[in-house]
Structure 1
Amino acid sequence: MTDWGPVFVAVVLFILLSPGLLFQIPGKSRFVEFSNFQTSGPSILLEAKNDDAHGRLMRDPLWYLQKEKKKKFLFKISDEERRKMSDWGPVFVAVVLFILLTPGLLIQVPGKSRAIEFGNFQTSGVSILVHSIIYFALICILLLAIGIHMYVGS
């Protein structure tokens, strides 16, 4: 049985937290701007950090390295070991894809004046929709088809 919950939550959060759709923190001229369809590097990092499910990974990127005794990246583990560990694979995949696919940071499809624009820090409703579809496809492939897991002991 496939667990679609993480995929659904990740895609909804990708859409809602895309900088410039509902709000942007920090904005271009004010601290908070609403529905300006613009973005920036700091906005993308802050929006990715806003979600509690993704927050710990964004706040403490060295968390894995600091917990040497508890760090375990295992390919084959028993069911008993799995119950004692946290699977950070979906969180890591969702955060990395969120940052890379936020419209306007690396790429915007469709762009304002061309089909594809690179690093313009602009977005639009259509761009958010297209990027959300790409995000959904990639997260399904990585989490459901391939099944990326990163087990970390608690």
Structure 2
Amino acid sequence: MLDWAPILVGLLLFILLSPGLIFQLPGNTRTIEFGNFHTNGRAIIRSISSPAMADWGPVLVAVVLFVLLTPGLLFQLPGHNRVVEFGSMRTSGAAVIVHAVIYFAVITIFLIAIGVHVYAG
């Protein structure tokens, strides 16, 4: 039996913590900004936290995917003026949903199909 809870919680956190959707810390012009649909590298790094555990595989996969799939950092699908925009540092609600679907698919592959494990010793 597959345990989908970690993947669904990860998906929900990916959506809620996407910088610029609900809030961004630090903001571009203030310490915290709400609903501005912009992001920056500092806000993405601030969004990452990892609990202490023996198997770091799921945490590492989730963190790397969070950074790589944050809308507007490397790419945004859909973009504002094109289908795909690269490095725009802007996002939208539609882009967060599309990137969340991509995140869900890729993290499912890594954690359930492949079963990535990294043990700290």
Residue 99 (structure 1) shift: 0.4
**Bigger Cα Rg:** 1
What is the aligned partner in structure 2 of residue 136 from structure 1?
A: 104
d(CA) in 2 for partners of 1:97 and 1:108?
14
d(CA) in 2 for partners of 1:47 and 1:101?
13
Alpha carbons 1:15, 1:128 under 8 Å: kept: yes
* Residue ranges of structure 2 left out of the alignment (5+ in a row): none
Residue 31 (structure 1) shift: 0.8
Selected match of 1:123 from 91, 94, 117: 91
Letter matched to residue 149 of structure 1: H
- Find the residue that maps to 2:120 and give its secondary structure: strand
Which consecutive aligned stretches of 4+ in structure 1 deviate over 3 angstroms post-superposition? Answer: none
* Residue ranges of structure 1 left out of the alignment (5+ in a row): 57-84
Alpha carbons 1:17, 1:48 under 8 Å: kept: no
Alpha carbons 1:22, 1:35 under 8 Å: kept: yes
Q: Count residues in correspondence.
A: 121
Please report the TM-score for the alignment, with normalisation by the length of structure 1.
0.75
User: Where does 1:26-37 land on structure 2 (aligned, <5 Å)?
Assistant: 26-37=26-37
d(CA) in 2 for partners of 1:152 and 1:55?
13
- Find the residue that maps to 1:86 and give its secondary structure: coil
**Percent of aligned pairs with the same residue?**
58
Cα deviation, 1:60-87, whole Å, max 9, x if unaligned, reads xxxxxxxxxxxxxxxxxxxxxxxxx821
d(CA) in 1 for partners of 2:48 and 2:88?
19
Please report the TM-score for the alignment, with normalisation by the length of structure 2.
0.95
Letter matched to residue 40 of structure 1: N
User: Where does 1:2-151 land on structure 2 (aligned, <5 Å)?
Assistant: 2-49=2-49, 54=50, 86-151=54-119
Residue 17 (structure 1) shift: 0.3
- Find the residue that maps to 2:47 and give its secondary structure: helix
Cα deviation, 1:91-130, whole Å, max 9, x if unaligned, reads 1100000000000000000001000000010000000000
Residue 55 (structure 1) shift: 5.5
Q: Give the alignment's Cα RMSD to 1 decimal.
A: 1.3
Alpha carbons 1:24, 1:33 under 8 Å: kept: yes
d(CA) in 2 for partners of 1:48 and 1:15?
13
